[in-house]
Amino acid sequence: MGHMVEFAPRPWDRPAPERAGRLSIYGMLPEDFTAMGAPGRAEHIFAMIQRPWEYRDGFPRLSREIREWLVANLDTALPEVAERHASEDGSTKLMLRLGDGECIEAVHMPREVRNPRVTLCVSSQVGCAMGCAFCATGTLGIRRNLSAGEIVGQVLAALRELGPERPHAITLVFMGMGEPLHNLEQVHRAIQILNHTRGLNISTRRITVSTSGLVPGIERLAHMEPRPWLAVSLNATTDEARSALMPVNRAWGLARLREALDAWSLGDRERLTIEYVLVAGQNDTMEDAERLAEWMGELRRGHNVNLIRLNEHEAASFREPDEAQVNAFVARLKALNCFVTVRKSRGRDIQGACGQLVKKSKGPSKRIENC
């Protein structure tokens, strides 16, 4: 097992501003209500807040005393849906405005039109510090972390806007704006809330946290409970190429990243996902496929290489490879015993696809080149 590296406080650890000095009601676990001295049964209050489809109009089944206590002590506002962009493929990008006016984006992807099963791609930060060269969000720099209440509020706001009503039909992926492991405390707290049996009760098998390869974060998350599934965005097969595309690699190179994955003890039927964005002329050669298979090593057994064709956007000059190149790459990996899927990108026409999430915000942001 790799050694643990503690996080020192970083500029992006700035907490979310609390509206009127109050914590968000959506970031509370039952024990928090108890600790705050809420009147009545804490689990009951938690269920009322987290299962809104059962209580459409606020908190009607709570006693007046509890309602007044909640409103007086906590921020009850959900992120506001500021814009809604529907794609031809059935997915919808939502722009959500937070209490301090900052905006984040979430993408709602039904499996097929009118199917209640849905994948929600959620954000963990406003902007991102990681500066990946192919990613639109990376051009924003970091503005701040989301609080657990804002992350859970994002999920509830998206479900309220677009459904489905029932929680068993939701898959959550932390692949929106931000590096979730740069905001691990709040992301994990949000997962605790979303996984809670009295709340949305989303299984950890249906929650995936996707990281650019922040090794200390992987090592911390490995020991946390509940633990979501992990996806790592790899995108290159030599340290030189990966450092050029993803500055995180300058701090934690390919060998160190692989060590952290080896130390991730897998649960029953758990799989790791290695994401690989194919960029024409950068990482899509047959030699890349061979190096990728070699780097995977034992992980080739049962784990998944998820190939994604680059989603082009204005902020970068990179291009997506053509169909023939993608097919050749897939064939080479399969010949080397890798389990490969090619992700069908959703929401390309609304700039909602992977690496395209960007919302121009006012004011300065901080770009951190070396993580």
The binder of ligand SF4 chosen from 89, 179, 275, 320 (CB under 6 A): 179
Q: How far is the CB of 89 from ligand SF4 (least distance, A)?
A: 21
Which residues in 208-247 contact ligand SF4 (CB under 6 A)?
A: 212
Among the candidate windows 78-86, 127-135, 302-310, 329-337, which touches ligand SF4 by CB under 6 A? 127-135
Ranges within 195-214 binding ligand SF4 (CB under 6 A): 212
Residues of span 337-366 touching ligand SF4 by CB under 6 A? 355
Q: Which residue among the candidates 105, 150, 275, 320 is catalytic per the annotation?
A: 105
Handedness of CA 160, 88, 342, 96 (dihedral sign): negative
Which span sits near ligand SF4 by CB under 6 A: 48-56, 75-83, 103-111, 174-182? 174-182
Residue with Cβ nearer ligand SF4 (30 or 176): 176
| Of 34-42, 86-94, 123-131, 339-347: span binding ligand SF4 (CB under 6 A) | 123-131
Question: Phi/psi at 235 (nearest 5 deg)?
Answer: 70, 0
Query: CB–CB of 98/115 below 8 Å?
Result: no
Q: Which of 142, 177, 152, 167 is nearest to 79 (CA)?
A: 152
109: tokens are: 């992807």
Q: Is the bond leading into 216 cis (omega within 30 degrees of zero)? A: no
Residue 365 contacts residue 143 (beta carbons within 8 Å): yes
- Residue 302 falls in which region: left (phi positive, over 0), alpha (psi -120 to 50) or beta: left
Q: How far is the CB of 244 from ligand SF4 (least distance, A)?
A: 13
C-beta of 265: minimal distance to ligand SF4 in Å?
25
What is the CB-side half-sphere exposure of residue 160 using CA atoms within 13 A?
Answer: 20
CB of 277 to ligand SF4, least distance (A): 8
Contacts of 119 (CB under 8 A, 6+ apart): 109, 111, 170, 171, 172, 173
Q: Catalytic residue among 121, 132, 354, 371, which?
A: 354
Residue whose CB is less far from ligand SF4, 242 or 300: 242
273 and 231 Cβ atoms separated by less than 8 Å: yes
Task: Verify binding: residue 130, ligand SF4, rule CB under 6 A.
Answer: yes
Residue nearer to ligand SF4 on the CB measure, 19 or 250:
250
**Which region, judged by CB under 6 A, interacts with ligand SF4, from 48-56, 126-134, 252-260, 297-305?**
126-134
Q: Between residues 16 and 231, which has the closer beta carbon with respect to ligand SF4?
A: 231
Interface with ligand SF4, residue 132, by CB under 6 A: yes
CB 307 within 8 A of CB 341: yes
Q: Among this protein's residues, is 105 annotated catalytic?
A: yes
Buried b (16+ CB within 10 A) or exposed e, 53-64: eeeeeebeebee
Return the residue of 16, 94, 98, 128 that touches ligand SF4, per CB under 6 A. 128
Is position 16 an interface residue for ligand SF4 (rule: CB under 6 A)?
no
Residue 206, helix vs strand vs coil:
helix
Give the interface size with ligand SF4 as a residue count (CB under 6 A).
12
Task: State the DSSP string of 269-310.
Answer: T---EEEEEE-TTTS-SHHHHHHHHHHHGGGGTT-EEEEEE-
| Residue 2 or 138 with smaller CB distance to ligand SF4 | 138
Active site residue 354: yes
| Backbone torsions φ then ψ of 290, nearest 5 degrees | -65, -45
Sole window of 113-121, 131-139, 194-202, 342-350 interacting with ligand SF4 (rule: CB under 6 A) = 131-139
Q: Residue numbers of the site for ligand SF4 (CB under 6 A)?
A: 128, 130-132, 135, 137-138, 177-179, 212, 355
Q: Which residues are catalytic?
A: 105, 354
